[in-house]
Amino acid sequence: MEEVQQSAITRSHTNTNNSSATKAPKASKSKATSSAKTSKSTRRPRLSAEAARTAKALEGLAFEAPAPVIEANEPGQFGRINVMDVTPAEERGIYPARVELGEPFKVTAQVFIEGRTKVGATAIVRNPRGKEMLRLPMTCTNPGLDRWEVMLKCGDHSDLKPWEDGYAVVKRQLGIWTVTVEGWEDTYRSWLHDARIKVQVKDDVDNALNSGAELLARWALTKDAGLSAKDRKTLEKAAETMADESLSAEDRLAAGDNDEIAALHVAHPLRDGVSPSQPQRFKVERPKSSFAAWYQFFPRSEGATVDPETGKIVQGTLRTSMAGLERAAAEGFDIVYLPPIFPIGVTNRKGRNNSLIAGPDDPGSPFGIGSELGGHDTVDPLLGTMDDFKALTARAHELGLEIALDFALQCSPDHPWVKQHPEWFRHKPDGTIAFAENPPKKYQDIYPIDFNADMPGIEKEVERILNLWIEAGVTIFRIDNPHTKPVRFWQDVIASVTKKHPEILFLAEAFTRPGMMRALSYVGFTQSHCYFPWRNTKEELAEYLPITNGDDGYYQHNTFWPTTPDILTAYVRDNGIAGHCVRAVLAAMGSPSWGIYNGFELIENKQRPGFEEQIDNEKYEVKVRDWSKAERYGVAKMLTTLNKIRREHPAALSYHNLTVLPTSDPNILAFMRRTPAELTGTGQADTLIVVVNLDGHNAHQSTVHIELGELGLPTDRPLNVRDELTGREFQWGWDNFVSLAPWADVAHIFTVQ
């Protein structure tokens, strides 16, 4: 009597063993593959009492063999199941997608088989040492295109900084991880589909149900399923009942068609013909490579005062800049970004508001780098000394802040390089060095670098300088206009620097074409400035948010800045306090990485006539600010609240979980971020719904529609939502009414309870 059950056992083990024959890289073996090593013995497994009864019930029946695993010995060969078009795909197999440690991301694939047989798909994540760290079922989101998808993560999110205790644990998790998509024949679901129909129409019922009984018995003995002893008994009992021809067809079918079996099918399925894809590589980067909050200030303005006797401005120093660190930390920011702190040239120095003639007290632009006092490797003596800078970085680290330093690879006419390395600059036919220009714009105080004569020499010098600042405490470099230099130059420099200091991050200040932006991300720029400041209408934002939070986010990590020293848009100029808060909400919640240029809290929103930048621009003068006025505007409080929400919600971490929601009013924008329970670390899904009134002057009402089922939200009960900005609670469903007035609430940020 045991022969039939033994036949099921043999086929189950043979099917599992075949999976070990697949010629995949060692790191990409699944649990089915590795566990097969222990099942090659020709000894018959000892049957439990339950299995013995099941074997007796199946005695004398014949069944079809399950789908075997077919070896794929070459990268282009198919297995028994077809797995294609895994995304995100590596560019030419060279540049893997980039994610932060613990950042949720989406993987999709086409998975299919011939005919009408059902298939399933599983995604398996392995760390750089090939150890399986996560295994999740994929969901078919487009049956017509055989498209399956799943949200995954590589490791767990961390906020540890490179200098903090425990960072060594984080560092060991960084590097190249892999994701393998395993397609498999879903024998149970195929059987169930047909069995339900046959029982209903009373067609060939015994054969259909006996086939199901054998399937359940084989499932109970399949090691790949990872079943507990209790689960195995459940399946064995179901198989025995289904094989009992004395029962009604409906009762026999019910034994294998119920919630308990359905749950096992989801969590521990029978996977026949397992066919793995080629492992897809992901470059896993350190904390703050994607999820970061930046704060920029000019040290020479921080702590600046007016001399009561002379009426002249006394500029701040690195020592007085400690106050800026305290403010950034209090508002919840992670990174303090400093413009160039190097000596400023005198020749052709720019005056206030970019005038060509500087007055005797004009400090010049910090981007006109270099004087007789030194170049990129020197602290401007007006700011202090290298010891002062090291004290600043040490204090920043005490506050949990990273220091990002601006590195503009350009020189004033007074830079030491002009005399030491004249070959590094382009000369006109008359022998003079050409200053920077973008006709009709001219930058007479800057000499651009010419990389054609001695790029290796320039690379060596830049690497020396960056390493010097790293030793002083810098962990991030914001690179000015990297798209105006050869991509290969940055590839060489970043590779050299990160080989010695793998913790160093690079932000590209590049407003340019998509191809150049992608190339810069390939060669090591972790984050990028972007066109967010100019996306202000509902239509613009509804188009832009899914782009920056979509497939592009695997490479170009856009950082949303509402304003910068170079950018002050008409929207920020015209919409007052409400407009500042709106742009802050959109920046903080619309991208995992965002930044604020100080003075935003004080509503510094007056444009220089004819230009999209501030009047009395801080790039050309020292600003004296009265920070006691910040409280009256409430913007600093909003920034602090936004950073708190971001830190507390896993849904804010990812570039790959944003959905724009339909709204009925052209001034109301709504979007949702959702991270499934398997990836939050809390065991509960995290959902944020952001609703913003883009009009800084008028109230607007709108309905917000949510496709609850498609977005993974419950459809059988109201959603309890809490506004993280006000603490008020509401109940939401498919269609929801909102009313936002700029003098009361510019936005809602709802947490789904």
pLDDT digits 0-9 by tens, 604-633: 999 999 999 999 999 999 999 999 999 999
Cα 432 to Cα 428: distance, rounded to the nearest angstrom: 5
Whether the CB-CB separation of 9 and 44 falls below 8 Å is answered with: yes
Contacts by 40-46, CB closer than 8 A, 24 or more apart: 44/6, 44/9, 45/9, 45/221
Higher-confidence residue of 229 and 64: namely 229
Q: Is 216 left (phi over 0), alpha (psi -120 to 50) or beta?
A: alpha
Asked whether the predicted pLDDT for residue 491 surpasses 90, the reply is yes
- Residue 306 bridge partners (DSSP): 313
The pLDDT of residue 2 is 41
Cα 722 to Cα 33: distance, rounded to the nearest angstrom: 46
| Cα Dmax for the chain | 109
Locate the DSSP E strands across 318-449.
335-338, 402-407, 410-411, 436-438, 441-443, 447-448
The pLDDT of residue 24 is 38
Asked whether the predicted pLDDT for residue 225 surpasses 80, the reply is yes
- In degrees rounded to 5, what are phi and psi of residue 357? -120, 120
Whether the CB-CB separation of 449 and 410 falls below 8 Å is answered with: yes
Q: Write down how long the chain is.
A: 753
DSSP three-state, residue 194: helix
Cα 396 to Cα 323: distance, rounded to the nearest angstrom: 11
- Residue 184 bridge partners (DSSP): 120
Report the candidate in 239, 214, 228, 215 with the shortest Cα–Cα distance to residue 267. 228
pLDDT tens column, 172-181:
999 999 999 9
CB atoms within 10 A of CB 123: 24
Angle at 22 between CA 17 and CA 28, to 5 degrees: 105
Cα 188 to Cα 113: distance, rounded to the nearest angstrom: 15
Report the candidate in 653, 707, 645 with the shortest Cα–Cα distance to residue 675. 653
Computed over every residue of the chain, the mean pLDDT equals 92
Q: What does the radius of gyration of the chain's CA atoms come to, in whole angstroms?
A: 31
Q: Which residues contact 94 (CB under 8 A, 6 or more apart)?
A: none
Annotated binding-site positions: 350, 410, 445, 481, 619-620
Helical ranges in 47-186 per DSSP H: 49-57, 167-172
Structural tokens at position 43: 């000894």
Structural tokens at position 629: 């006025």
Q: What is the CA 553 to chain-centroid distance, rounded?
A: 6
Which are the catalytic amino acids?
480, 509
Return the residue matching tokens 């206009």.
481
Element at 573 (helix H, strand E): helix 570-574
Average pLDDT of the residues in 197-221: 95
The pLDDT of residue 439 is 78
Output the CA–CA distances (angstroms, integers) from residue 577 to 559, 594, 603, in the order listed: 22, 19, 7
Whether the CB-CB separation of 129 and 173 falls below 8 Å is answered with: no
Asked whether the predicted pLDDT for residue 46 surpasses 60, the reply is no
Annotated binding-site positions for alpha-maltose 1-phosphate: 350, 410, 445, 481, 619-620
Terminal CA-CA length for the chain = 55
Provide the pairing of β-strand 686-693 with 747-752: antiparallel
Q: Which residues contact 600 (CB under 8 A, 6 or more apart)?
A: 562, 563, 580, 584, 635, 639
pLDDT tens column, 129-155:
999 999 999 999 999 999 999 999 999
26 pLDDT band, cuts 50/70/90, is very low
Q: Which domains does the chain have, with CATH numbers?
A: 1-66+187-269 (1.20.58.80), 75-186+271-285 (2.60.40.10), 292-410+448-649 (3.20.20.80), 652-752 (2.60.40.1180)
The pLDDT of residue 18 is 40
* Peptide linkage before 279 cis (omega within 30 of 0): no
Report the candidate in 137, 260, 270 with the shortest Cα–Cα distance to residue 216. 270
Written as one string, the DSSP assignment of 309-352 is TT--EE---TTTTHHHHHHHHHTT-SEEEE---S-B--TT---G
pLDDT tens column, 302-322:
999 999 999 999 999 999 999
pLDDT tens column, 573-596:
999 999 999 999 999 999 999 999
Cα 222 to Cα 241: distance, rounded to the nearest angstrom: 20
The pLDDT of residue 63 is 65
pTM of the predicted model as reported, rounded to 2 decimal places: 0.90
Least-confidence region, from 90-104, 256-270, 344-358, 432-446: 432-446
Burial letters for 533-558: b for 16+ Cβ neighbours within 10 Å, e otherwise? bebbebeebbebbbebbebbbbbbbb
Output the CA–CA distances (angstroms, integers) from residue 495 to 142, 236, 282, 477, 525, in the order listed: 41, 58, 18, 14, 11
Average pLDDT of the residues in 646-673: 97
Cα 706 to Cα 713: distance, rounded to the nearest angstrom: 9
The pLDDT of residue 40 is 39
The pLDDT of residue 66 is 85
Q: What is the CA 699 to chain-centroid distance, rounded?
A: 34
Whether the CB-CB separation of 549 and 655 falls below 8 Å is answered with: yes
Cα 549 to Cα 557: distance, rounded to the nearest angstrom: 9
Angle at 288 between CA 283 and CA 289, to 5 degrees: 35
Asked whether the predicted pLDDT for residue 745 surpasses 50, the reply is yes
Structural tokens at position 191: 């059987």
Report the candidate in 317, 462, 492 with the shortest Cα–Cα distance to residue 375. 462
Average pLDDT of the residues in 479-507: 97
